[in-house]
Structure 1
Amino acid sequence: MAPPRNRRPGFSRRAQYGLFLGYVVAIGGVLIGAVLLLLSTFNPPAYAVVRGFFAEITTPISSGIAWATSGVAGAPDGVSQHFNVRAENERLRKQIAEDETLVARARTLHQENRRLRALLQVRDVTTDAVITARLVNSSASSTRRYATLNAGSWQKVERGQAVREAAGLIGQVIETSPNTARVLLIIDPDSNVPVRRTRDGMPAIAKGRGDGLLDVRAAGLSNMTFRPGDIFVTSGTGGVFPPNIPVAKVITNQRDSAVAEPAANPNSLDFAMVQQIYLPPPAPSPTPTPGGAAK
């Protein structure tokens, strides 16, 4: 037969113990409250001591509960701030990258403008300028050193004309088409430029090495001394390159020649000016004398 559904507490010792403990706790609480009430009424100092004791016990527990509660309550805000900070960092990184690109472009434009202004100053004092154009490419990775100018025969560029920038000589036009021209750079092994030393006028030949530098050798003289820092300019000999264009600066001297760096850096070319072929003035013709002999 099934046991009745509604059982009294007396049928369970566990329930009896629980009910008994509940009564004990209730009675104990009432007694403690009564004692505290009597202490607060008749002996306030003792009551203050008891209150401080319980405060010392309950304060850490209350603090831990408050900390846990505030941490749980602030968790959504912390997660939201984390993702907001990440998004802000990504935006700032992107902005920094864009700013760096703008700064690089600005520096490039500044350098181009500076070189163009320098070329304009050279053009203002030069009477044989043909055109100022852009060097669109150069063979920097090869021992043969050429460049392409975006101006050609339609712009009056001709074979043999000198190409320079403000800092010095770049090369010589060797081929032309309607809108482009091929330039042999002075650092090419096939390039030979008649030059002279500025401090004493000593004639020499500047020949390309193919590695970005020049070999300078004295023309027709032996046992000539080169000094680091010697400056060489075009001499005008041969009637191709106009005189007094900076060509090279000696950096080391060898036994019978010197290694020099070009005045115009071939690795940073952008704009260049083409000049007419230099033709030195003809020698004066001899004047006849009354006796028939020329002087």
Structure 2
Amino acid sequence: MAPPNNRRPGFSRRAQYGLFISYMIAGGGVLVGAVLLLLSMFNPPAYAAVRGAFSELVTPIASGLDWTRRGISSVPGGISGYFGVRGENERLRAEVTANRVLVEQARSTTLENRRLRQLLKVRDRAADPVVAARLVYSTASSTRRFATLNAGSWQGVRPGQPVRGPNGLIGRIVEVSPNTARVLLIQDPESIVPVRRLRDGLPAIAAGRGDGLIEIRSAGAAQVLFEPGDAFVTSGTGGVFPPNIAVARVRRRSRDIAEAAPLASPDSLDFALVQQPFFPEAGPTTGGARAPEAAPR
């Protein structure tokens, strides 16, 4: 026998009350939805106020539920992060131990070099600064690249002295007047600077191109591969530019001749430092040979 279509909850008061309450909630929801729909159609400002009130009531509850959800979902990540931190700590400890060995080796090498220098009586030369002057003019749009300093012979500036900025080499002095000096920039086609590659000491020549860039050419080896980011510093060869001044950085990968960008741009500098040459030229001797004393009669 088929069951009847109209199912009643029977004589259970709880079931009857539950069914009645569900009907009331459904009817109330339909009524509230209809009221809100009519309110949004005929009175949008009032509907916006009601919506804002509901948002104010619902937002703290939603925030609390979201915080609870995030806290529960972060438990597995916290556990895995704990074990990951332990592994990372072990790796860092091993790295510190290996670095300690390298530091001890470097320290012993430094001490050995110092002892050998003392035995050989080797003395490091340092280029003394002459004056800090303002860069008042630079030819950025011409094929010849020059700059002008507001310091000259009255301030101790002489031709051949190197000029550098905080980021690297700028050029060298070529002309001097009492209160101004002309600087040949390293981007000029007539500029040639002996350099070396920073990562392996490869000797090279940095020559200006006249378009704001520099060409790096190997000074000895052939088929040299230049990688992007290779940094070049002055080598001290020639006795003009002191060693270890930043010059340029290679822009793209190439072989034999690399295109590099200078690290110091005179167009963005206000001041520059004029230094003594690394090996200044020897001046004329003032003392001649001592005259022999007259023989007594």
Calculate the TM-score normalised by the size of structure 2. Answer: 0.51
Q: Secondary structure of 2:194's match?
A: strand
CA contact (8 A) 1:165 1:272 kept: yes
The answer to whether structure 1 residue 144 and structure 2 residue 144 are counterparts is yes
Alignment of 1:1-295 (within 5 A): 128-279=128-279
Query: Offset at 1:218?
Result: 0.4
- The amino acid of 1:270's aligned partner reads D
CA contact (8 A) 2:205 2:219 kept: yes
Query: Offset at 1:270?
Result: 1.5
Query: Offset at 1:171?
Result: 0.4
Q: Secondary structure of 1:167's match?
A: coil
Aligned pair count reads 157
CA contact (8 A) 2:217 2:257 kept: yes
Query: Offset at 1:269?
Result: 2.4
Name the CA distance, whole Å, in 1 between partners of 2:228 and 2:255. 13
Name the CA distance, whole Å, in 2 between partners of 1:241 and 1:218. 18
Name the CA distance, whole Å, in 1 between partners of 2:225 and 2:127. 35
Structure-2 residue corresponding to 1:292:
none
- The amino acid of 2:241's aligned partner reads F
Name the CA distance, whole Å, in 1 between partners of 2:179 and 2:253. 41
Q: Secondary structure of 2:154's match?
A: helix
Name the CA distance, whole Å, in 1 between partners of 2:143 and 2:252. 21
Name the CA distance, whole Å, in 2 between partners of 1:249 and 1:255. 15
CA contact (8 A) 1:146 1:183 kept: yes
- The amino acid of 2:199's aligned partner reads R
CA contact (8 A) 1:240 1:279 kept: yes
Q: After TM superposition, what 4+ stretches of structure 1 lie above 2 angstroms from structure 2? A: none
Q: Secondary structure of 2:267's match?
A: helix
Name the CA distance, whole Å, in 2 between partners of 1:222 and 1:146. 32
- The amino acid of 1:152's aligned partner reads G
Q: Secondary structure of 2:171's match?
A: strand
Mark the runs of 5 or more structure 2 residues left unpaired by the alignment.
Answer: 1-125, 281-297
Structure-1 residue corresponding to 2:108:
none
RMSD (Å), alpha carbons: 1.8
Structure-2 residue corresponding to 1:56:
none
CA contact (8 A) 1:128 1:275 kept: yes
Calculate the TM-score normalised by the size of structure 1. Answer: 0.51
Query: Offset at 1:127?
Result: 5.5
- How many percent identity over aligned positions? 66
Larger Rg: 1
